[in-house]
Amino acid sequence: MHRLFSVAAAPPPPTQTHPAPYSQPMNEYDYIIVGAGSAGCVLANRLSASGKDRVLLLEAGGSDRSPLIQVPLGYGLTFSDPKYNWMYTTEPDAALGGRTSFWPRGKVLGGSSSLNAMVYMRGQHADYDEWRDAGNPGWGWSDVLPYFKKSEDHVWGASEHHGAGGELTVSDFADQVHPLCERFLQAGEALGYGRTADFNGARKEGFGLWQMTIRKGVRASTSNAFLRPAMGRSNLTVLTHALVQRVLLQGRGAVGVECVVDGVKQQFKSRKEVILCGGAINSPQLLQLSGVGDAALLAAKGVPLAHHLPAVGQGLQDHLCVSYFFKSKVPTLNNTLGPWYGKVWAGIRYALDRKGPLGMSVNQAGAFVRSRPGLAQPNLHLYFNPISYTANTAPVGKRFQLQNPDPFAAFLISFNTCRPTSRGSVQVQSANAQDKPLITTNFLTTEHDRQDIVEGARMVRSIAATAPLADVVQSEHLPGADVQSEAAIFADFAKRGGSVYHASCTCAMGPDAATSVVDARLRVHGMRRLRVIDASVFPAVTSGNTNAPVIMVAEKGADMVLADNA
Ligand SMILES: Cc1cc2nc3c(=O)[nH]c(=O)nc-3n(C[C@H](O)[C@H](O)[C@H](O)COP(=O)(O)OP(=O)(O)OC[C@H]3O[C@@H](n4cnc5c(N)ncnc54)[C@H](O)[C@@H]3O)c2cc1C
């Protein structure tokens, strides 16, 4: 029998500084990795595996030992907890009626993989073929599939589509999801969209259940999966509460980083490379703070220019979604997780065998569909949650209500455009690394993205109106039956739409230094010994969730780093 929070006691200390049997001074390493997130933990493992190189991993956040991180459903709380979260706010956006958006990002070992919703989704084949065709050889689907499989330890075992024996556990929750999910899937089938047993297999379209990065009821963050197994290596040093402020340059070559560790400024030297894994907001910020970015922006913000690279921070993409809430005639997770006695029951249930609602995501099922004829691939990503929390647009700084479901039986269906074409930006506001960067989203600024919103809204309603899901719908709670016209749908979207936290593309990979930041080997254009490896290098956001694609990018990037330094 497992104790409820025994998971928190298992991991080794988060901060390790090993006495290393090397002749270099202690502040000199072969590789310096900035950020222990989805990508950084993979790189720390792979680059230290041979034992030949000294690797330093620097993380601005702290330990991930908390049960809020290790117990899967804890993300309802870490979602708005500044102890683990950068808590970004975007600029006001016209598509959101002038509202700002709250953008949680992980600031802790594991980064955003320590507070995400754990859905494992690779995306469509065409996503990667388009990356390759945009001038990035080696990034097509057939090139990247081996890297997805390399990481994977899928509970279904090895197959043409899946890997087994890798570090990252991918689990199937078909025997545990809420019974309402089956009604959702059957409604999709009744509408003719078909069902898929494996969104990451041969058929990536249709209705189905999500696979999740959860291992035996514990979050399979990249910290748990990749970093912990490597922590005992004497050539790997991990420092937490270490905010990197800039990359140290000699001419156009990276030679180290300047970092504040527990309030003390320090410099660390790199013999081979500095690798930025700070994520889609922080990596472009750090490049700009280091003088690598658009010359006019840096001049305006008082940052000395090292290298004019105008695309740094440009091209920001994200998935923008809205949820439709339906009151239910049958109990949902609101009935389970709302009352105090339900929470206690869920805790006991989890303590017994790490199962039940606390042991998985509330985002349990969904679909990838084409909403109109003539499309080559799905344009809409739908999510089905057998729970509802209508107060999730509370102002930043206040606790969001994800931990408190609505006091009535209800579920939600959300949707977002798979491949938005709108692009925003990330820009430093000053030369001070402590100042949050300016995040401009420019949501729904293309006709393509706007069309999908209207079709998505209509599709969600048609699913809810189709048996057997329709049989349990009592009424549409939000936005409500009066929201029908295109204008009303957009007005509602402006009021309630928001991010699903897939920020990417701000240091995009591409062949042209005028329009991209890294080349196809993830080296910063015009610089030496400096790479970016994280969600920011996506040339375009993938069709689905972004954690698995980031881990793939890190696997492939690690091979490139090792090959180029062999
Ligand atoms: C609430 C939420 C839910 C999500 N749900 C899902 C989901 O269900 N499925 C899915 O596939 N994806 C999901 N995502 C998205 C996914 O988790 C991210 O795309 C992915 O984790 C990004 O990986 P990354 O390596 O680019 O950045 P991160 O994982 O964010 O890592 C960046 C790391 O760098 C550190 N860092 C940044 N700057 C510095 C600095 N200057 N010095 C030192 N350290 C620094 C950060 O603290 C962080 O630890 C979700 C994201 C969020 C926020």
pLDDT tens for 221-269 read 999 999 999 999 999 999 999 999 999 999 999 999 999 998 899 999 9
Token output for 379: 């344009």
Q: Which residues contact 342 (CB under 8 A, 6 or more apart)?
A: 335, 336
Distance separating alpha carbons of residues 164 and 46, to the nearest angstrom: 17
Mean pLDDT value across the chain: 93
* 106 has pLDDT over 80: yes
Secondary structure in 3-state letters for 90-137: CCCEHHHCCECCEECCECECCHHHHCCCCEECCCCHHHHHHHHHCCCC
Q: Which helix (H) or strand (E) holds 491?
A: helix 486-496
Q: What is the pLDDT of residue 392?
A: 52
- For the question of residue 502 being annotated catalytic, the response is yes
Residues 6+ apart with CB under 8 A from 310: 293, 294, 295, 514
The residue whose CB lies within 8 Å of the most ligand 1 atoms, and thus the one to mutate among 73, 81, 116, 522, is 116
CATH superfamily, region 26-63+70-564: FAD/NAD(P)-binding domain (3.50.50.60)
**Nearest 5 degrees, angle CA 188-CA 193-CA 195?**
75
Q: Which of 472, 463, 499, 485 is nearest to 382 (CA)?
A: 463
Residue found under tokens 């949650």: 385
The pLDDT value recorded for residue 25 is 52
Half-sphere exposure of 467 (CA within 13 A, CB side): 1
Q: Determine the pLDDT at residue 21.
A: 39
Rounded Cα distance between 446 and 451, Å, is 9
Domain ranges within the chain, ordered by starting residue: 26-63+70-564
Nearest-CA residue for atom 9 of ligand 1: 119
Pairing of strands 28-34, 264-276: parallel
Q: Which atom of ligand 1 is nearest to the CA of 536?
A: 26
Residue nearest to ligand 1 atom 49, measured at CA: 111
Tens digits of residue pLDDT in 445-481: 999 999 999 999 999 999 999 999 999 999 999 999 9
**What is the number of other CB atoms lying within 10 angstroms of the CB of residue 101?**
22
Q: Which residue minimizes the CA distance to atom 38 of ligand 1?
A: 278
Cα dist from 348 to 2, 5, 70, 171, 357, whole Å: 10, 11, 16, 22, 11
Say how far apart CA 193 and CA 516 lie, in whole Å.
37
Instruction: State what percent of residues in the chain have pLDDT above 90.
Output: 91
The catalytic residue among 154, 319, 502, 525 is: 502
Query: Do residues 545 and 321 make contact, with C-beta atoms less than 8 angstroms apart?
Result: no
For the CA of 259, the nearest atom of ligand 1: 42
Distance 107 CA to ligand 1 centre (A): 8
* C-alpha 112 – ligand 1 centre gap (Å): 3
Residue 299 identity (one-letter amino acid):
A
Q: What is the pLDDT of residues 394-440, one digit of tens each?
A: 444 444 545 678 999 999 999 999 999 999 999 999 999 999 999 99
Report the predicted TM-score, pTM, of the whole model to 2 decimal places.
Answer: 0.95
Beta-strand ranges (E) seen in 310-445 are: 314-316, 320-328, 365-369, 380-385, 410-417, 424-427, 438-440
pLDDT in tens, 481-527: 999 999 999 999 999 999 999 999 999 999 999 999 999 999 999 99
Cα 376 to ligand 1 centroid, rounded to whole Å: 30
- Kindly compute the dihedral angle of the four CA atoms of residues 446, 448, 449, 454, in this order, to the nearest 10 degrees: 120
Q: How far is the CA of 38 from the centre of ligand 1 (A)?
A: 6
Measure the CA–CA gap between 188 and 186, rounded to whole angstroms. Answer: 5
Pocket probe mutation, ligand 1, options 112, 222, 258, 532, max atoms within 8 Å of Cβ: 112
**161-174 pLDDT, tens digit each:** 999 999 999 999 99
Q: Tell me how far apart the alpha carbons of residues 238 and 32 are, in angstroms, rounded to a whole number.
A: 10
Q: What is the pLDDT of residues 4-51, one digit of tens each?
A: 223 333 343 344 443 333 444 569 999 999 999 999 999 999 999 999
Mean pLDDT across 142-155 = 98
Distance of CA 91 to the CA centre of its chain: 20
In one-letter notation, the amino acid at residue 326 is: F
Contact 534, 279 (CB under 8 A): yes
| Cβ contacts of 127-135, under 8 Å, gap ≥ 24 | 127/419, 127/540, 127/542, 127/543, 127/549, 128/542, 130/539, 130/540, 131/509, 131/538, 131/539, 131/540, 134/510, 134/539, 134/540, 135/510, 135/511, 135/512, 135/520
Name the phi and psi angles at 82, rounded to 5. -60, -15
- What is the atom index within ligand 1 of the atom nearest the CA of 433? 41
Q: Mutation test of ligand 1: which of 168, 546, 551 has the most ligand atoms closer than 8 Å to its C-beta?
A: 546
Residues, the chain, total? Answer: 566
What does DSSP assign to residue 449?
A: H
pLDDT (mean) for 531-542: 98
Q: Give all strands (DSSP E) within 398-469, no chain letters.
A: 410-417, 424-427, 438-440
Instruction: Give the pLDDT confidence of 466-475 residue by residue, as tens digits.
Output: 999 999 999 9
Listed in order, strand segments (DSSP E) in 387-493 are 410-417, 424-427, 438-440, 473-478
Average pLDDT over residues 323-350: 95
b/e per residue 441-474 (b: at least 16 CB within 10 A): bbbbbeeebbebbebbbebbbebbebeebeebbe
Phi and psi at residue 307, to the nearest 5°: -160, 125
Interhelix angle 547-564/141-151, rounded to 10 degrees, is 100
Confidence at residue 19, expressed as pLDDT on a 0 to 100 scale? 36
